[in-house]
Amino acid sequence: MTGGSGAAPTVVPAFQPDYDLRARAVTAAGGLQCSWRAGTAPADDFAYEGDWAYFWVDILPNAADVYHPVQLGDAPTTQTKAFGSVTASATCGDPGCEASAVINDAWVAVRVNAAGWNSDRSIYVGIGESLLDHVAPAITDVFAAVGAAAPEQLGTAPPTASPAPSTAVGGCESFLPATLLASTLGANSATYVAEKGADTPNTPTDAAIPRAGLLICAAEVADQASVGFFIAPQRADLVTDQISTIELTAGLADAALPGALPDEKAVSDCPGQYTCSELFTMGGSGFSIIHQPHADAIAAAIIARAR
């Protein structure tokens, strides 16, 4: 993770701030996620400036059948690069560089991203597109370690059946009916829609979402911007784990939501100037409402509906 200056940074185990429940999808689906940071930790999930850089590893076992090469722009890249004995899909773009491959039936993705990457102000200025060569020894070590690992070292559970898109839509309705969502937002109507491209995962996270049982609730709202939030039915532990991993929820503070019980957890940055986020547990399930204009109102409506 040494940058263009040649000065070796201090590297610590750390995750980049991410309020989205999907940040833990690979782990929730029985996979393995590892991450290290160089530089000063970002203040929140919108901090794009600074001297930080992250080296991420996502490993999703039993995923060879759904693997797709690294996504860049609107389509998977056809570029490949050899890392030791593994020929991987590998490219650089927004917001960094990534290499991925299937190793022992696991989808393995390694990526490097840094503050200021798109504005040529990252610690990797002067390295540029050769960043993949720069970090190749570390990627090679990751691929070799995965290849040598026993299955139980790469995760905790086999994949489970994936819910159909209609099931996800129905699940969203059961937590917050579209009619109630519309009235909460002061709109004439709202309709939950299946997420586009949900059947074609571009990352281990995409593939892990249905295996983990996460619901992506996307709604089209009359005369307003679309609304989205995420539910982990009967997986409140995902939120409590996310909250306890301090760097994941940097920028959020403990919150008391209307109707919440004493043992339920919530963190929030509401009210925000334009949007805000709520990450909370309720009735054994976990929820994240990220950067929405009415996140606090939606959270309150979900809890009121249940109580």
The answer to whether the CB of 115 falls within 8 A of the CB of 42 is yes
Structure letter (DSSP) for residue 251: T
Q: What is the C-alpha separation between 264 and 233, in angstroms, rounded?
A: 15
* This prediction's pTM: 0.89
Q: What is the C-alpha separation between 286 and 243, in angstroms, rounded?
A: 11
β partners of residue 188: none
Task: Give the model's confidence band at 221: pLDDT under 50 very low, under 70 low, under 90 confident, else very high.
Answer: very high
Task: Give the model's confidence band at 278: pLDDT under 50 very low, under 70 low, under 90 confident, else very high.
Answer: very high
Identify which of 81-90, 215-224, 270-279 has the greatest average pLDDT.
81-90
Query: Of all helices (H) and strands (E), which one includes residue 32?
Result: strand 32-38
pLDDT tens by residue, 124-137: 777 756 888 889 99
Q: What is the C-alpha separation between 134 and 131, in angstroms, rounded?
A: 5
Count CA atoms within 13 Å of residue 63 on its CB side: 36
Please, which residues have CB within 8 angstroms of residue 178's CB and are 6 or more apart in sequence? Answer: 189, 190, 191, 192, 219
pLDDT tens by residue, 34-71: 999 999 998 888 777 888 899 999 999 999 999 999 88
pLDDT at 157: 57
Give the mean model confidence (pLDDT) for residues 94-111. Answer: 92
Closest by CA to 43, choosing from 69, 61, 17, is 17
